[in-house]
Structure 1
């Protein structure tokens, strides 16, 4: 068991010596220099090493870059929001102006239609009055003509009645043998017959005049209705043409407004996209400059580090060699102590006659004698 432990210790020491990092440090300092630095730091707490100051400066530069980047992003966001608000206000004003223009056109259309309706109503009233006046005039003419005809007819009847009466009297006077009563009776019968005949003729004439008057009134009414219908059709045609013209104007106005709105939206989108592209370009340019600055700084640091390592490489190798030798000597001392302790223990617990055999076996089991390590070193 003790031999196994010794073997394991030797293997660990060898692995540690082989796998130890042989790269030189940037600034190897001795124990005296470290103690001196500690004393100085105790007396003067504000003095810091150059590497720590450099790290702080790098951290400060990185924080400044990040804060500047964030500040630039916030500024870009504010610019975008301000532009969007300005474009939105411009679009709202444009739409309000178009709405007012459309309302003005609608009001003008309504006023023109009202004016046209009033003019049509006035023309209709005037036309109806003229038609009614013409009907009354024609009716009066017909009535006057019929009165004249009736008067002439009555005068003719009176003349015929007188002629017939005189003719009968002459006939009765030619016959003196006829008694007077018979003459009076014949005269009265003839008078009644004449009056009845004249009354029938007068009634027939009045009926014909009434029929002619009714037909004339119906003809006048028909002509007035046809004329009114044509007049109303003309007015409706004029109103429909007016409405169609106004609708076409309104449609053209809405198309023009839609085109202007599309042009404004396109222009606003182009402005917004142009600003975004410019801000993204500035952001990428800033990131590229920061990255190039960081790469340059890292290259300079690595260059300084490599230069320092190249200058300090011989001293570092010598220091590392001394450390390895010291570690090897310490390991050899520990191994010798362990070997002596094992040998004494084996000699104490074994008979005296077996001491030579035990010593010979222990010598053979020793894996790495101290002389071999010295030769290797």
Structure 2
């Protein structure tokens, strides 16, 4: 496996490892938020239970205090009425003695009335006074009884009113406690949503940063590999050209030897032709002309061989020059072709990397938009849930207060109706002074 493939696999493993770590972090975060909500719900339940127990204890205490207050006021009324009755009886006794003494004086001064008649007159007057005082005492006792019963009834009505006020205070305290706990829960949910937003944005930034860094490293490695590949191709071509340059003299030498061999073969052919021509001319020419013929043929052969040697030497020089120029041209063509090929490959790599970078940026932008849309939808649902819970809580508050007022109104109306039926009339305006309590 090549180093590039190992790098790509390693990058993929790094992305997967980061995604798994971020997922575990998000799961832990959500579990912690759920525990916070459960803890808040449990605390709310405990607070409401504690409040309910406190209300029960306060109600018992208030009922006992109210009963004690009723007994105290009743005792004060009884004591006041006893005091009034004692004062009234003492006043009657004093009045009785005064009237009795006055009548005695009147009877004593009237000497013309017999003693029996005086005694009878005193007895009748005494009976009349006693009967009148008894009636007055009975009337006073009746009034006191009526006042006592009316006062007790008024105390009971005031107790009902105080109990109603106490119930209203308790239900308001309970509903306010629920509202405060619900507002605290909503504030906690908003804080949790904001912390979740921060975590989601931070995780997305970490993931995108790692992905961008890995892409940058990948592109850098690709560029380095391309540069290494370009250098290797250029070095290979340079070695090839150097080898060709080194082999050029030997190749030229071989070609020169081939040309020389051709020259030698041509010389041999010409020598054979010269011998055949010499023999033919010597056969047909007179013997005395043989020397001239041999000399002429020798000169002609020498001239032709020199011309042939010059031609072959010129051919060798042209061959060496053309081979050198051809090698330089071929090497230059190969260099230009390699340079053009490497440039095209570099442009293709740049285009591929630009496309990859653009795709990564587009992917990151889509991920960012998707996350923001997800956050906005979740926040809208949360706000809608909070609004619905507040409306439901307000509806419950209104309904419970309405039911309480209706029940208390029925109790008050029933109590007033019973009071009217018992002959006490309206007790709404009846109150007691502070010193009577």
The TM-score, its normalising length taken from structure 1, stands at: 0.54
Q: Would you say 1:119 and 2:226 are equivalent positions?
A: no
1:303 equivalent in structure 2: 421
> Which protein is bigger by CA-based radius of gyration?
1
RMSD: 4.5
Aligned length: 261
Tell me how far apart the structure 2 counterparts of residues 203 and 126 of structure 1 sit (CA, whole Å): 40
1:281 equivalent in structure 2: 399
Deviates more, 1:297-306 or 1:194-203: 194-203
The TM-score, its normalising length taken from structure 2, stands at: 0.48
Identify the match of residue 232 of structure 1 among 339, 350, 372: 350
1:39 equivalent in structure 2: 87
Identify the match of residue 229 of structure 2 among 114, 126, 130: 130
Q: Would you say 1:54 and 2:114 are equivalent positions?
A: no
1:272 equivalent in structure 2: 390
Q: Would you say 1:218 and 2:266 are equivalent positions?
A: no
Going from structure 1 to structure 2, the CA distance change for 1:175 and 1:297 (only over 3 Å counts) comes to: same
Query: Moved runs in structure 1, 4+ residues, more than 4 A?
Result: 35-38, 40-43, 154-167, 173-178, 191-208
Q: How far is 1:128 from its partner?
A: 2.2
Going from structure 1 to structure 2, the CA distance change for 1:174 and 1:161 (only over 3 Å counts) comes to: farther
Structure 1: state its 5+ residue gaps: 1-32, 179-186, 308-377
1:144 equivalent in structure 2: 243
Matches within 5 A, 1:326-345: none
Tell me how far apart the structure 2 counterparts of residues 226 and 300 of structure 1 sit (CA, whole Å): 109
* Higher RCO (C-alpha 8 Å, min separation 6): 1
Q: How far is 1:80 from its partner?
A: 0.3
2:171 equivalent in structure 1: 72
Q: Helix, strand or coil for the counterpart of 2:233?
A: helix
Q: Deviations for 1:191-237, whole angstroms, at most 9, x for unmatched residues?
A: 99999997787566545543443332122111101111112222332
Matches within 5 A, 1:88-103: 88-103=187-202
Q: Deviations for 1:6-30, whole angstroms, at most 9, x for unmatched residues?
A: xxxxxxxxxxxxxxxxxxxxxxxxx
Tell me how far apart the structure 2 counterparts of residues 53 and 42 of structure 1 sit (CA, whole Å): 27
Tell me how far apart the structure 2 counterparts of residues 192 and 42 of structure 1 sit (CA, whole Å): 186
Going from structure 1 to structure 2, the CA distance change for 1:59 and 1:214 (only over 3 Å counts) comes to: same
Tell me how far apart the structure 2 counterparts of residues 199 and 237 of structure 1 sit (CA, whole Å): 56
Q: How far is 1:40 from its partner?
A: 6.0
Q: Deviations for 1:126-150, whole angstroms, at most 9, x for unmatched residues?
A: 2321232122212322343354345
Q: Is the 8 A contact 2:219 2:353 kept in 1?
A: yes
Q: How far is 1:285 from its partner?
A: 0.7
